[in-house]
Chains A and B, each alone.
Chain A
Amino acid sequence: MRSPLRARSARILASAGLVGALLLPAAGPASAADPVVLRVGVTQTLDSVNPYGTALVVGYEVFGLTYDLLVGFGSDAEPAPGFADKWERAADGKSWTFHIRKGMTWSDGTPATSADACFSYQINLDAIAAGENVGLGYIDPSVAAAGVTKAECPDAETMILTSSDPSERILQNYVPILPKHIWGDKTYKQIGEATFDAPQVGSGPYQLVEWKTGEYVKFERNKSYWGKQGAADQVIIQFFGSADTLVQALKAGEIDYARGATAAQFDALKTEPNIVTVAGEANGWTQLGFNTYGTGTGKTIPKGGPSTKALQDAAFRDALGYAIDKDELLKRIHLGYGVVGTTPVPPVLSQFHTDPNDIRTFDLAVADQKLTAAGYVKDASGARLDKEGKAISLTLVFPNDDDTYAKAAQFIQGWFKEIGIKVTPVPYESGALVDVMLPPEADPTKTADYDMFIWGWSGSPDPSILLEIFTCAAIGGSSDSLYCDTKYDDMYAKQNTLGVTERKVVLDELQQYWYDQAPYHILYYDANLHAYRTDKFAGWQNQPKSGTPLFAYGTENYTLLTLASEASPSPEASAAPSAGSSAGSSAAPATPAPTGSGGGSSTSSDNTLLLVGVVVVVAVVVVGLVLSRRRRGSAEEDDE
């Protein structure tokens, strides 16, 4: 007599056989006459498809594909034709005239004219006039910083922006040109909060057609784009939870471009066939910051603030700088990728960065000497005392979402121990850390109870953005060093109002002063570690030359891609080099892209739901069968 359990197991195995069949590697997504898709992977998750509502790099990349900027970025991040193909500053320096390209249409066919540009700028001007921001407030401040006070469009091909700002910041605004015929009736407030649902209508090279929250965004080629047609018919930017899964996907060919590998993965990718790695210079840095609260103001925070007055002393901070081996940090934590840090103007902004004189070296003996000379002596047990006679013990806080911070903290703890300073590193959940670092100026209940911290900033084409965080006015806002120094504030204000050459002079002075004062020690300018495959797409170009192909400035490089299968990868002259030349950029499309997608492009979510429902039903049926057989069996044999 067969044991019922054995019989049941047999039935189970039969259903498992179904499962077995499914273990065969899938047929995978299908075959010929498919659209050419460029798949890009990032480790950020897109927060919004509203250009004014995103705080992330990936968000800027996303809206940069759908919408043109007034002035784009060329191969070396110099101003290049965008919505406007020519521009010039008026002789009296009080305005700029932008010539809007003729014959452009929006992706829905409506003609694109200067009215759209004026409208797009007016949104920002309205907000500025009202003393408010559009959306999250990342874009309109740059319009204000460029001194724009008025936008006028005398005819369909001309826009005049009134601005007396002597710099050329006006050419670096990230204001997206929105179609007036769709958004014209909305106020800046409404636009700031609008959802910008797909499909979007823009004049950029690829139009947003789908946003699957937390998963990916999908773009379709804009057939009426005024510029080059890239090889890709579709672009998909997919969000990954970790660098590990991202890099795996790149290696497996599931994506063509990966933004953000760890140093070790980056090295490992170098030996992979068909993969090119790019270590782009980053516009941003990682810093060891000090809580200098009270400097210049004499204010203190009861039960909070820095634990010693030493932190307010530039000589103290300067001396500590000799106890940090930045080269070692780069080598051990980032395997050498990145650039040793100096001033708050990253070197990638080559027209503004200046190395300071007397860059600090790593020398513990010098650090010890300088500390003693500044009045911070060691006691008998080797502990360093501040001028109040208290042993210096510094808390070092950092967010726990980036393991390189913890590593840097470990090194710093070790080095400072050698010079007699106790460091207590405290990792915080990043949201909680924001709270811990707030001063009473931001919220009367907060106490800024920390001494040092490790975090990072990333910048934009104009250096002022990041220099602002050290001003007195930024305390309670973006300042985390809580630094306040009128001399710095004056220099900052001054350089903000000057033309390029005079500005450089002031910036040199400011950078030197900042370096000596050291509210931060900038550890390094992080490298952007990207990698891409060369077996599907060719024509990858870095922007700027020391940067990366994608996630740089503007999205022109998407249009420069060609199919790898096509023999000639001529590095096409990327966008016309300088202002004033009209880029005859209506090149013939790179490939006769088979635009007919095989009909299966109905929202994949609907299909997934359906299929999933089927699978669940099948599973339930299987279970039901198995269990019911048992019950039926016993009924037959029941004779109790």
Chain B
Amino acid sequence: MSAATTAKAPTGVWTLRARGFREFARKFARRSDGVLGFVILVFFTIMAIAPQLFVGALESAITASGDGLGPPSMTHILGTDELGRDMLNLTIHGARVSMVIGLLATVITVVVGAVIGIVSGFVGGLTDSSLMRLTDFFLVLPTFVLAIILAPIILDMIGVDAEVAGLRATLVVIVIVIGITSWASTARIIRSQTLSVKERMFVDRARVIGSGNGHIMIKHVLPNVMNLIVANTVLVFAGAVFTETTLAFIGLGDPFLPSWGQLLYAAEAAGAPGLGAWWLIAPPAICVVLVILGFTLMGNALDDILNPKSGVRR
């Protein structure tokens, strides 16, 4: 959306948005990379919403349907793991786990990051510098150490039986840990944008009228930062899935509700590379890469469209 449209009087902001959306959709459709990313994500989201529709319940040791370490065959298209569980089943259920963890972690990251970024950038002064110090503090927190520290504390707080959005308690810990260690960079990015939005004239106009800080932040700053937030959210999602996969690979996953990272960890622990059991590694690895790639492609496309830098060469 060009500066020209938003410079008009703020009435009918939502009408403007509807018009803007159609134009946006048109631009988006022309970005083949963004569309590709979108398609990938739709595919995985469908799998993630109701995996049991496709493959039935998550197989456990007791309900394993095949022989141990069976290569791909007619009955098990992606083979079986060392306990005989069907890899297709595990991988599709893994989609749900990885995506839900990513989603929840992203929500935490973006909400906290955006709030702190906007407040910090807008209010400025002492609030700004203290919030920035806080942000720096969170930027240097080591993720893995934090995970170890927080796990028993969070488990204690929510109870080991807890289930949030179908995630077991141990995975909730991972969500919180990723959220805590990711919001800081989002906050910084949002803050920079807020600073530049602050300069724009209509904000001063509103202030002259006598609107309060909160009102200005919500009604004026937020819509103008929203584009960046949206683009950033998608990229944060990619990062969250990346981080979760890595944390699970180091052993912080949940063997009872395996994410793709946990499946890769299990493959490594079972000695899959040495045994040549590539079917334990390939499905989760390819899925991880596709999802992260999808988010990145879409995020880049959104970023280009919503936050045009000088010279749109398309």
Contacts and interface: CB of A to CB of B under 8 A. Distances in A.
Given A265-B271, A332-B68, A414-B63, A428 B160 contact: no
Interface string B249-267: 0011011100000000010
B131 interface: no
Contacts of B271: 242-244, 247, 261-262, 264-265
A428 B151 contact: yes
A265 B275 contact: yes
Interface string A286-321: 000000000000000000000000000000000000
A428 B62 contact: no
A193 interface: no
Main secondary structure of the interface of A (DSSP, over half): helix
A497 interface: no
A427 B252 CA distance: 9
B268 A429 contact: no
A617 B271 CA distance: 37
B62 A415 contact: yes
A530 to B, nearest CB: 15
A431 interface: yes
B148 A426 contact: no
A429 B148 contact: yes
Interface string A372-402: 0000000000000000000001010000110
Nearest to A261: B271
Interface in B53-88: 60-64, 68-69, 82-84
A410 B60 contact: yes
B116 interface: no
A261 B275 CA distance: 12
B270 to A, nearest CB: 6
B152 interface: yes
A338 B36 CA distance: 51
Nearest to A414: B62
A243 B271 CA distance: 7
A194 to B, nearest CB: 32
B61 A410 contact: yes
Contacts of B160: 395, 424, 426
A435 interface: yes
Contacts of A247: 271, 274
A244 B68 contact: no
B112 interface: no
A403 B60 CA distance: 14
Nearest to A329: B61
B57 to A, nearest CB: 12
A232 to B, nearest CB: 26
A268 interface: yes
Interface of A: 242-245, 247-248, 251, 261-262, 264-265, 268, 332-333, 335, 393, 395, 400-401, 403, 406-407, 409-411, 413-415, 424-429, 431-432, 435-436
Interface of B: 60-64, 68-69, 82-84, 148, 151-152, 155, 160-161, 169-170, 251-252, 254-256, 266, 268-275
5 contacts: A242-B269, A406-B256, A407-B83, A410-B256, A426-B170
